[in-house]
């Protein structure tokens, strides 16, 4: 479970991210593609999955022109595949409210 204060800055960021995805179909499609690509790499651990989405999410929140980097590449380089067991992507999304 991921608990955050209702008036904390993370809530505002999560709402802004949701609003931007709702307003832009191509951005939403890119996010779905990113999540599928992460899972296709065998990353199923909730924490690793969330980390792999961070650069994309940060890019959305920071606006146009901000590259959605390669968090999953850093993750894959730093951890062996045997550590990528665990949860499915929906459980990881619940962790971050995404």
Residues found in the chain? 98
Q: How far is CA 14 from the centre of its chain?
A: 11
4 part of a folded domain = no
3 part of a folded domain = no
Domain count, the chain: 1
What integer pLDDT is reported at residue 21 of this predicted model? 95
Q: Domain range for residue 20?
A: 9-96
What integer pLDDT is reported at residue 69 of this predicted model? 38
What integer pLDDT is reported at residue 27 of this predicted model? 95
Encode the chain in three state secondary structure: CCCCCCCCHHHHHHHHHHHHHHHCHHHHHHHHHHHHHHHHCCCCCHHHHHHHHHHHHHHHHHCCCCCCCCHHHHHHHHCCHHHCCCCCHHHHHHHHCC
pLDDT averaged per 10 residues, the chain (length 98):
82 92 95 96 93 94 58 37 40 46
19 part of a folded domain = yes
1 part of a folded domain = no
Residue among 60, 46, 63 at smallest CA distance from 97: 46
What integer pLDDT is reported at residue 1 of this predicted model? 65
Please give the model's pTM, rounded to 2 decimal places. 0.61
């Amino acid at each position: 479970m991921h608990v955050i204060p209702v008036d904390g800055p993370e809530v505002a960021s999560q709402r802004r991210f949701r609003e931007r995805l709702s307003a832009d179909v191509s951005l939403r499609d890119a996010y779905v593609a990113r999540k599928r690509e992460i899972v296709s790499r065998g990353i199923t651990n909730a924490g690793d999955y969330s980390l792999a989405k961070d650069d994309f999410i940060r890019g959305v929140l920071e606006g146009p022109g901000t590259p959605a980097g390669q968090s999953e590449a850093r993750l894959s380089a730093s951890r062996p595949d045997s550590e990528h067991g665990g949860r499915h992507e929906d459980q990881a999304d619940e962790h971050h409210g995404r």
